[in-house]
Amino acid sequence: MSGRVPAIVLVAGSGPNDQDETVGPDKPFLDLANGLAAHGIATLRYDKRTHDYPSSIDPRTYTAVAEYVPDALAAIRLLRARQEIDPSRIFALGHSQGGTFAPLIAQRDPGLAGVILLAASTESVGAALLRQTRYESTLPGSVGAEARARLPQIRMLVAQIENPDLARLSPTAPMPFGTGPAYWLSLQRYDEIRAVRAIQQPILILQGGRDYQVTISDDLNVWRRALAGRADVTVHIYPRDDHLFIEGSGPPSPLDFTRPGHVDPRVIADIAAWVESR
């Protein structure tokens, strides 16, 4: 394998993300790709099919597993076929809900060299939406006012997606975000903790201290408890970083995502060092 380089597949979070995982003026996956390339590590990032081919998705049958797993596995296979890539040193990096499903990707492909979780969520979507909106409602100015006005709608949305009778609904029953019951039922049934405990690959977990979407107490500590005692798990916390791993100060706010920034260089350096040690 002389001359071949390690590679990372970047798996974006919820929503119809492009390959850069663009949020407002920020492009965290582009930052990761450029930064890791400087360390001699290749990356493969891709537009989600919900971004490029939404008409190809049948809401009656589309699931959260289908959103994340098949395309990531295809990306891994593509990398293995490249002559410049070391096939024994391919990693999966998932951000946010992409991180939630990264253990399942690793379970489906035991040949992966390792798994990297960036702000990976364990909290249910409904609980997270309520918690985030309640937090935003405490903020000053228009941000807090808009969140307070939005809370009743969020409560109704959560009641829909966490309906215990989803399996009894018609596959064509309208659900939030253009999905069907199958999507939310798959989220209810997926157990990321069971998945992460089942994999043998080493795991790197990164978390921002200013992240109010995925938090240390609600998410990171759940991963830590699940993986307690494993010597091949590494955790890094960046106290000033938000959900996109961009540094900031003061109480975190949705306004953070309207300001241009770049991924914390320490995050890129820590990922590179961990990959280089495998």
Q: Which segments of 70-193 are extended strands (E)?
A: 85-95, 114-118
Q: What is the mean pLDDT of residues 259-266?
A: 97
Question: Which fold, 5-122+191-276?
Answer: Rossmann fold (3.40.50)
Give me the catalytic one of 243, 253, 256, 264: 243
Residue bearing tokens 């996956």: 29
Q: What is the mean pLDDT of residues 76-104?
A: 98
- Separation of alpha carbons 182 and 174, rounded Å: 11
Q: What is the mean pLDDT of residues 55-72?
A: 93
Determine the pLDDT at residue 178.
Answer: 86
Question: Do residues 246 and 263 lie in contact, with contact meaning Cβ atoms separated by under 8 Å?
Answer: yes
What pLDDT, in 10s, does the model give residues 115-153?
Answer: 999 999 999 999 999 999 999 999 999 999 999 999 999
With a CB cutoff of 8 Å and minimum separation 6, the contacts of 266 are 238
Determine the pLDDT at residue 53.
Answer: 85
- Separation of alpha carbons 244 and 95, rounded Å: 9
Give me the catalytic one of 96, 219, 242, 264: 96
Q: What is the mean pLDDT of residues 2-7?
A: 88
- What's the pLDDT band for 2 if we cut at 50, 70, 90? low
Give me the catalytic one of 20, 26, 109, 211: 211
Q: What is the mean pLDDT of residues 177-189?
A: 93
What pLDDT, in 10s, does the model give residues 226-236?
Answer: 999 999 999 99
Average pLDDT score over the chain: 96
| 54 or 64, higher pLDDT | 64
Q: What is the mean pLDDT of residues 28-34?
A: 98
- 96 is an active site residue: yes
- What's the pLDDT band for 1 if we cut at 50, 70, 90? very low
- 191 is an active site residue: no
- 211 is an active site residue: yes
Query: What is this structure's pTM?
Result: 0.95
- Separation of alpha carbons 34 and 42, rounded Å: 9
Residue 76 has pLDDT above 60, yes or no: yes
| 31-45, 171-185, 208-222: segment of lowest average pLDDT | 171-185
Nearest to 100 by CA among 218, 193, 186, 203: 193
